[in-house]
Amino acid sequence: MYNPRFEKKAFKKEVEHNVKTLYRKTIDEATPQQLFQAVSYAVKEVIIDDWIATQDQFKKDDPKTVYYMSMEFLMGRALGNNLINMTAYREVKEALDEMGIDLNAIEDQEPDPALGNGGLGRLAACFLDSLATLGYAAYGCGIRYRYGMFKQKIENGYQVETPDDWLKEGNPFELRREEYAKEVRFGGNIRVEYDDATNRTKFVQENYESVLAIPYDMPVVGYGNHHVNTLRIWDAQAITNFQLDSFDRGDYHKAVEQENLAKTIVEVLYPNDNHYAGKELRLKQQYFFVSASIQAAISKYKKSHDDLHKLPEKVVFQMNDTHPTVAVAELMRILLDEEGLGWNEAWDITTHCCAYTNHTIMAEALEKWPIDLFSKLLPRVYQIIQEIDRRFLIQVREMYPGNEEKVRKMAILYNGQVRMAHLAIVAGFSVNGVARLHTEILKHQELKDFYEMMPEKFNNKTNGITQRRFLMHGNPLLADWVTEKLGTKNWITDLSLMSGLKKYADDPKALAEFMDIKYRNKERLAAYILKHNGIEVDPRSIFDVQVKRLHEYKRQLLNILHVMYLYNQIKEHPEMSFYPRTFIFGAKASAGYIRAKEIIKLINSVGDVVNNDRSINGKLKVVFIEDYRVSNAEIIFAAADVSEQISTASKEASGTGNMKFMLNGAPTLGTMDGANVEIVEEVGAENAFIFGLSSEEVINYENYGGYHPQDIYHNDQDIHKVVDQLVDGTYSNGDTEMYRDLYNSLLTNQGGSRADMYFILKDFRSYAEAQKKVEEAYKDTEGWAKKALLNTACCGKFTSDRTIQEYVDDIWHLDKIKVEVET
């Protein structure tokens, strides 16, 4: 696809021009960062035309629009991705080459915007990519955090967090849109008035504090279709700039307070992943971006429509987990208090506009806000929730007369708390899980009562990922190979075509090519590791990779205990045949998650011992990659041989890393959890390594009080030894206390939590056996190549394009847009 707007000569001129006007420099004088800025502005120039054309098309077609409401958008770097989606990557690379500039080095100058924690935030980013590529009208609505996810440094084996000052050099792709600012109000009290003129009760918020929400728009470029959607993230600004006269009027205190509120509200992303902490500031963040986004959506709708009753025909709000669930009450508030509708009309509109996605079944991740905190911060929103709850409980009692147990279990307000998931389910017209198994567990366990009362709301949408970033951009060698073998580039927008690779599964030449690409990607990762960790790893060894947030349920501890076990085996049986392995980890721990941080330290300590033991001849290496994030993830997936997806069954809602590994030809070593189940279904059990308890077994044990890890500890000598090594100083220079907590967590019940809650020792043997099978399989070079290739060939289902089309068909019912531009 030739794009004349990136015609080399003109593009070079544009870059030169930008360097000159931005920095008063020539290309040769400019720093790499300045070149990055200049190139980005040149690319933005082209994007803007498509962006305008898309918005014009929206005005003409008046399509239904989805507002994807999310506290997190983990976008990753924009430059390379935008070039890919504008089908101009190659041309621009060549143009820059001719100027003596290396595009890859320029791309590395871009900060990796980390406005998200992990899976949920990255999913939102993949969804935006697919929405634009499929030609649907969509807005991502979120927060422009001043500091995103912290940067992770490893010092002396410990995680150290430093702030992520991602805006330091300016963000070339964003547009500040001051003219669309909205006021958001917090606190105060509600005065109830009777308005004789309209015969209505009015609710007036008084003595509140407010901030101004200023939108920044970022373009979201569709692949090869000139469609550019918008990610709208909100910054906060004080409404009255600090003025002397307010001091005179005695409002000094308030003026300062509002300045502070504005500054703190968008200051930083909470780094908790799958864990709820009831912090007031977090609730402020939620209401801040939700209120601004809903106000903006309503104003936009009203510009070209006069009947709010028809809002659901044009607008749908998708709530990414419960984090933006105040949206339902805020929409009600606007319809009731500002638009003057009655309760029933407002409720009818709201419940046809809002839909909810659940991303977790873990109790500790469920949002429950203390009522006093909630009602003080959002007094009017709280009143509305009370009324929603009152009316809902009337329905529950009608349906289950005399069953007060049901009422307690299902209430939105209970025990001094606002249960956000219940609010989202009651007010949403759709409730979806993110993988088939996850949705089944929601329906039959966690949300059973709601499913029984309103089964029609529940549906599954198995997650997906974008092949544009995770194959085209991250693994260009494989991408080109796929295009050559399939004889078409169409897989870029139709991943089901990958099944056409199956016919090469027994073709020795194709298999050799496939593994050669893997090898070259392993060399690229080895170079990255040497540069960043100073560790030499052998690209011929098996690259066994676990990269994801650090969480006990994801069981990085199981992985590293198994490494300790292998090390013992090698030491005890030096003659034993052992295929060299490199265990690669990458994980951030939430700053306050002490046990997670201990596990990071343990991984690094094991690495120190193992990597420096010359007696094992480099058979085993352990590498902890610092600051795992989207940009280095792309390099890591491309180089992986084995994909570790070893969560305790039933705990991982879906997982999306598993899909990125599969796409890049790495078989899964995993439990039957989340989307692993569907991956195995697609690729065949013979091309994966499955182990461990099933979700039913786990849930069963949990319902009967757990199991007895001590039995395993006492009966299995290898496990016994490994567990003891946590406290015998082997990995802590003789310090017996450093890993005592991990040791205890495996063996003894501890106030409230059971010994080995995540069934690590229970699954250990079966994990070790699966690992043994991996080694055996890898020794068979061609057999392994076939498995790897089939993983790539069978990944078609796991594109976010498929996921988004299902959301559109079943939930959103959006209209497709065709953007026409003259080129």
Point out the residues that are catalytic: 359, 548-549, 554, 656, 660
Site for ligand 26Q in 665-704 (CB under 6 A): 674
Burial 379-415 (b: 16+ CB within 10 A, else e): bbbbbbbbebbeebbeebeeebeeeeebeeebbbbbe
Structure tokens at 673: 């959890």
Member of 103, 123, 328, 385 binding ligand 26Q (CB under 6 A): 123
- As a whole number of angstroms, the distance between CA 30 and CA 790 comes to 46
Report, in Å, the least distance between residue 362 CB and ligand 26Q: 8
Member of 130, 654, 695, 745 binding ligand 26Q (CB under 6 A): 654
Are residues 411 and 393 in contact, defined by beta-carbon separation less than 8 angstroms? yes
Residue linked to tokens 């009522």 = 371
Q: Is 652 in the site for ligand 26Q (CB under 6 A)?
A: yes
Report, in Å, the least distance between residue 676 CB and ligand 26Q: 10
Member of 284, 333, 359, 422 binding ligand 26Q (CB under 6 A): 359
Report, in Å, the least distance between residue 319 CB and ligand 26Q: 13
Q: Which is nearer to ligand 26Q, 272 or 582 (CB)?
A: 272
Member of 117, 152, 799, 800 binding ligand 26Q (CB under 6 A): 117
Site for ligand 26Q in 251-280 (CB under 6 A): 270, 272-274, 276-277
Q: Which is nearer to ligand 26Q, 322 or 375 (CB)?
A: 322
Report, in Å, the least distance between residue 644 CB and ligand 26Q: 14
Q: Is 556 in the site for ligand 26Q (CB under 6 A)?
A: no
Type and span of the H or E element at 529: helix 508-533
Type and span of the H or E element at 546: strand 542-547
Report, in Å, the least distance between residue 434 CB and ligand 26Q: 4
The crossing angle, in degrees rounded to 10, of helices 556-572 and 594-611 is: 20
Q: Which is nearer to ligand 26Q, 171 or 360 (CB)?
A: 360
Q: Is 120 in the site for ligand 26Q (CB under 6 A)?
A: yes
Q: Is 463 in the site for ligand 26Q (CB under 6 A)?
A: yes
Q: Is 318 in the site for ligand 26Q (CB under 6 A)?
A: no
Report, in Å, the least distance between residue 793 CB and ligand 26Q: 23
Q: Is 119 in the site for ligand 26Q (CB under 6 A)?
A: yes
Member of 434, 606, 789, 819 binding ligand 26Q (CB under 6 A): 434
Q: Is 593 in the site for ligand 26Q (CB under 6 A)?
A: no
What sign for the dihedral angle of Cα 21, 23, 28, 31?
Answer: negative
Q: How many residues bind ligand 26Q (CB under 6 A)?
A: 24
**Would you call 668 helix, strand, or coil by DSSP?**
strand
Report, in Å, the least distance between residue 555 CB and ligand 26Q: 13
Report, in Å, the least distance between residue 688 CB and ligand 26Q: 18
Structure tokens at 70: 């999310």
Q: Find the distance separating the first CA and the last CA of the chain, reported in whole Å.
A: 12
Q: In this chain, which stretch among 113-121, 453-461, 474-482, 558-566 interacts with ligand 26Q, using CB under 6 A?
A: 113-121
Are residues 100 and 190 in contact, defined by beta-carbon separation less than 8 angstroms? no
Q: Which is nearer to ligand 26Q, 117 or 604 (CB)?
A: 117
CA 814 to chain centre: 24
Total number of residues shown for the chain: 823
- As a whole number of angstroms, the distance between CA 157 and CA 602 comes to 8
**Would you call 72 helix, strand, or coil by DSSP?**
coil
Q: Which is nearer to ligand 26Q, 308 or 365 (CB)?
A: 365
- As a whole number of angstroms, the distance between CA 674 and CA 681 comes to 12
Name the β-bridge partners of 154.
159
Report, in Å, the least distance between residue 277 CB and ligand 26Q: 5
Structure tokens at 383: 């009143």
Q: Is 281 in the site for ligand 26Q (CB under 6 A)?
A: no
Member of 76, 142, 172, 655 binding ligand 26Q (CB under 6 A): 655
Q: In this chain, which stretch among 32-40, 119-127, 508-516, 813-821 interacts with ligand 26Q, using CB under 6 A?
A: 119-127
Q: Which is nearer to ligand 26Q, 276 or 624 (CB)?
A: 276
Rg (CA), the chain: 27
Q: Which is nearer to ligand 26Q, 117 or 582 (CB)?
A: 117
Are residues 173 and 44 in contact, defined by beta-carbon separation less than 8 angstroms? yes
Report, in Å, the least distance between residue 592 CB and ligand 26Q: 11
Q: Which is nearer to ligand 26Q, 117 or 466 (CB)?
A: 117
Amino acid occupying residue 650: S
- As a whole number of angstroms, the distance between CA 370 and CA 742 comes to 32
Q: Which is nearer to ligand 26Q, 135 or 148 (CB)?
A: 148
The crossing angle, in degrees rounded to 10, of helices 379-399 and 326-333 is: 110
Are residues 804 and 507 in contact, defined by beta-carbon separation less than 8 angstroms? no
158-162 and 138-143 as β-strands: parallel, antiparallel, unpaired? unpaired
Which residues lie closer than 8 Å to 701 by C-beta, 6 or more apart?
Answer: 693, 707, 759
Q: Is 129 in the site for ligand 26Q (CB under 6 A)?
A: no
Report, in Å, the least distance between residue 361 CB and ligand 26Q: 9
Report, in Å, the least distance between residue 723 CB and ligand 26Q: 27
Name the β-bridge partners of 459.
432
Q: Which is nearer to ligand 26Q, 112 or 217 (CB)?
A: 112
Q: Is 360 in the site for ligand 26Q (CB under 6 A)?
A: yes
Amino acid occupying residue 20: K
Name the residue among 85, 70, 81, 63 with its Cα closest to residue 1: 85
Type and span of the H or E element at 154: strand 151-155
- As a whole number of angstroms, the distance between CA 360 and CA 123 comes to 14
Count of CB atoms situated within 10 Å of the CB of 533: 16
Q: Is 656 in the site for ligand 26Q (CB under 6 A)?
A: yes
Distance (Å) of CA 207 to CA 106, 254, 284, 377, 606:
51, 10, 17, 12, 58
Site for ligand 26Q in 70-109 (CB under 6 A): none
Backbone angles phi, psi at 224, to 5 degrees: 60, 25
- As a whole number of angstroms, the distance between CA 54 and CA 44 comes to 15
Q: Is 547 in the site for ligand 26Q (CB under 6 A)?
A: no
Q: Is 365 in the site for ligand 26Q (CB under 6 A)?
A: yes
Q: Which is nearer to ligand 26Q, 160 or 277 (CB)?
A: 277
581-586 and 620-624 as β-strands: parallel, antiparallel, unpaired? parallel
Could you tell me the maximum CA-CA distance found in the chain, to the nearest angstrom?
A: 94
Q: Which is nearer to ligand 26Q, 68 or 514 (CB)?
A: 68
Member of 76, 80, 113, 118 binding ligand 26Q (CB under 6 A): 118
Q: Is 282 in the site for ligand 26Q (CB under 6 A)?
A: yes
Q: Is 649 in the site for ligand 26Q (CB under 6 A)?
A: no
Positions in the binding site for ligand 26Q (CB under 6 A): 117-120, 123, 270, 272-274, 276-277, 282, 359-360, 365, 367, 434, 463, 652-656, 674
